């Protein structure tokens, strides 16, 4: 067993950026930033980049998840085909289930109480089926076949994809990681992203939330982790160029995505995921050789990244609350941009409180109860 290493600030910043973009996107649906006074001083393209990339941000997070889970598995067991299935599932269940069960319990109570914004009103949907789909790893499929769920339910679509990955990943690794087929299969899965999205164009919801595109993004992260495992860290300037290229790729997709779509179509999402992997790999190599430095002004994103799971699951409660207060003030959209900051701050606070007083204590208790040996600290931050 290798010794623990500190959290990687760069990777936490990437995760924090992802969750911040998701929160801003969900606020912008209800308080459009392009209709505020900011549109008179900032380019509309920039405002759109800030507010319309929640879906893309989730795919960046998928890449990070694949990278971190693989890196942790390699650090903990040495080889992917040596993964202890029971230990892997205990760690994942202890991390995921407490917050998920708490969220579903609260949402169920709010639905029964007929609370606006939280009540399932689609005639094709029901509370029991929504709960079953969330626990059964197919809420994304359920929405694809029945329509959108309320916002606080809808965020669970990405968790269904990640949970399916966590369920399959160690089994596939134990069976195939020592074989020549393993890496080519991952490359094929990662490269399939444009085609799997294109094949689902007749169903907008399912195209966005289907398993294969999300799995392809996660596979890109897995490949990134395997790359840093097999290669020595290159010279410092190479790492910097790789990180700059990754950041530029992500930034270009966020800012001029429409131009990329004209050229690459669904390949734009592959460009995004490969760029995210390049940035994460550069962050990892920088931390490993001791040259990692936090970019000034990004400490708040790093903090957000460390609370990303809890903030992601709870942020819609904050968003709906902020929007309700905004509507009650009858202030109009001109100064609507002022409400984004409390939405971000409130989402961070909600994530911090849930993490400190619920998810972290529950995770420690469950690991201690279910593990054969005392729980160990994660080698790098796990999603």
The predicted-structure confidence for 16-28, as pLDDT tens digits, reads as follows 999 999 999 999 9
User: Is the predicted pLDDT of residue 291 greater than 90, yes or no?
Assistant: no
The predicted-structure confidence for 233-245, as pLDDT tens digits, reads as follows 888 889 999 999 9
Q: What pLDDT band is residue 228 in, cutting at 50, 70 and 90?
A: very high
**Mean pLDDT of the 84-107 span:** 96
User: Is the predicted pLDDT of residue 378 greater than 70, yes or no?
Assistant: no
Specify if 142 maps to a domain.
Answer: yes
**Distance between CA 171 and CA 167 in Å, rounded?**
8
Specify if 376 maps to a domain.
Answer: no
**Distance between CA 65 and CA 269 in Å, rounded?**
16
**Mean pLDDT of the 143-148 span:** 96
Structure tokens at 265: 């179509």
Supply the range of the domain harboring residue 26: 9-370
Tell me what the pLDDT averaged over the chain comes to: 92
In this predicted structure, what is the pLDDT of residue 377? 45
**Distance between CA 234 and CA 283 in Å, rounded?**
13
Write the CB contacts of 359 (distance below 8 Å, at least 6 apart in sequence): 95, 98, 99, 309, 310
3-state class (DSSP) for residue 122? coil
In this predicted structure, what is the pLDDT of residue 15? 95
Q: What pLDDT band is residue 375 in, cutting at 50, 70 and 90?
A: very low
User: Is the predicted pLDDT of residue 4 greater than 60, yes or no?
Assistant: no
In this predicted structure, what is the pLDDT of residue 231? 87
**Distance between CA 31 and CA 136 in Å, rounded?**
33
Which phi and psi angles does 232 have, rounded to 5°?
Answer: -75, 150
**How does DSSP assign 39-99, residue by residue?**
GGTS-HHHHHHHHS-HHHHHHHHHHHHHHHHHHHHHHHHSSGGG--HHHHHHHHHHHHHHH
Q: What pLDDT band is residue 287 in, cutting at 50, 70 and 90?
A: confident
Q: What pLDDT band is residue 2 in, cutting at 50, 70 and 90?
A: very low
The angle at the Cα of 22, spanning 108 to 295, to the nearest 5 degrees, equals: 135
Q: What pLDDT band is residue 90 in, cutting at 50, 70 and 90?
A: very high
Specify if 137 maps to a domain.
Answer: yes
Specify if 75 maps to a domain.
Answer: yes
The angle at the Cα of 288, spanning 287 to 289, to the nearest 5 degrees, equals: 95
352, burial (CB in 10 Å: exposed 0-12, middle 13-18, buried 19+): middle
Structure tokens at 83: 């993964």
Specify if 2 maps to a domain.
Answer: no
Q: How many domains does the chain have?
A: 1
Structure tokens at 315: 């942020």
**Distance between CA 332 and CA 65 in Å, rounded?**
39
Specify if 379 maps to a domain.
Answer: no
The predicted-structure confidence for 326-367, as pLDDT tens digits, reads as follows 999 988 899 999 999 999 999 999 999 999 999 999 999 999
User: Is the predicted pLDDT of residue 374 greater than 80, yes or no?
Assistant: no
2, burial (CB in 10 Å: exposed 0-12, middle 13-18, buried 19+): exposed
User: Is the predicted pLDDT of residue 379 greater than 60, yes or no?
Assistant: no
Q: What is the 3-state secondary structure (H, E, C) of 209-264?
A: HCHHHHHHHHHHHHHHHHHHHHCCCCCHHHHHHHHHHHHHHHHHHHHCHHHHHHHH
**Distance between CA 174 and CA 193 in Å, rounded?**
25
**Higher local confidence (pLDDT), 179 or 322:** 322
Specify if 359 maps to a domain.
Answer: yes
**Mean pLDDT of the 93-121 span:** 97
Q: What pLDDT band is residue 116 in, cutting at 50, 70 and 90?
A: very high
Write the CB contacts of 337 (distance below 8 Å, at least 6 apart in sequence): 33, 36, 37, 38
Which phi and psi angles does 83 have, rounded to 5°?
Answer: -60, 135
Of 6-20, 70-84, 202-216, 347-361, minimum mean pLDDT range = 6-20
Specify if 76 maps to a domain.
Answer: yes
Q: What percent of the chain has pLDDT over 70?
A: 94
């Amino acid at each position: 067993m290798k010794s623990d290493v500190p959290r990687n600030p760069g990777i936490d910043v990437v995760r924090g950026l992802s969750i911040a973009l998701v929160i801003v996107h969900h606020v912008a649906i209800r308080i459009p930033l392009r209709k505020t006074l900011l549109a008179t001083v900032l380019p509309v393209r920039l405002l759109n980049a800030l507010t319309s990339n929640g879906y893309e941000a989730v795919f960046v997070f998928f890449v990070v998840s694949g990278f971190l889970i693989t890196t942790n598995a390699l650090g903990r067991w040495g080889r992917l085909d040596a993964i202890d299935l029971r230990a892997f599932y205990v760690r994942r269940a202890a991390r995921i289930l407490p917050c998920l069960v708490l969220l579903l319990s609260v949402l169920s109570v709010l639905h029964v109480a007929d609370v606006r914004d939280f009540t399932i009103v689609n005639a094709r949907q029901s509370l029991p089926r929504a709960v079953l789909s969330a626990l059964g790893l197919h809420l994304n499929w359920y929405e694809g076949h029945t329509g959108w769920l309320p916002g606080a339910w809808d965020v669970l679509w990405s968790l269904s994809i990640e949970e399916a990955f966590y369920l399959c990943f160690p089994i596939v690794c134990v069976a195939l990681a020592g074989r020549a087929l393993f890496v080519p299969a991952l490359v094929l899965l990662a490269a399939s992203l444009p085609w799997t999205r294109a094949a689902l164009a007749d169903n907008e919801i399912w195209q966005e939330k289907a398993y294969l595109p999300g799995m392809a993004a996660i596979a890109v992260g897995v490949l990134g982790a395997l790359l840093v495992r097999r290669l020595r860290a290159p010279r410092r300037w190479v790492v910097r160029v790789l990180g700059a290229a990754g950041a530029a790729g992500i930034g270009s997709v966020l800012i001029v995505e429409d131009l990329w779509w004209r050229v690459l179509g669904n390949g734009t999402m592959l460009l995004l995921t490969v760029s995210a992997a390049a940035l994460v790999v550069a962050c990892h190599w920088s931390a490993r050789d001791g040259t990692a430095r936090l970019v000034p002004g990004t400490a708040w994103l790093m903090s957000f990244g460390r609370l990303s799971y809890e903030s992601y699951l709870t942020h819609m409660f904050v968003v709906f609350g902020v929007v309700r207060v905004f509507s009650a003030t009858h202030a109009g959209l001109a100064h609507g941009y002022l409400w984004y900051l409390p939405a971000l701050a409130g989402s961070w606070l909600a994530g911090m409180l849930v993490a400190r007083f619920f998810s972290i204590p529950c995770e420690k208790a469950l690991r201690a109860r279910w593990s054969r040996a005392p729980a160990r600290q994660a080698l790098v931050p796990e999603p």
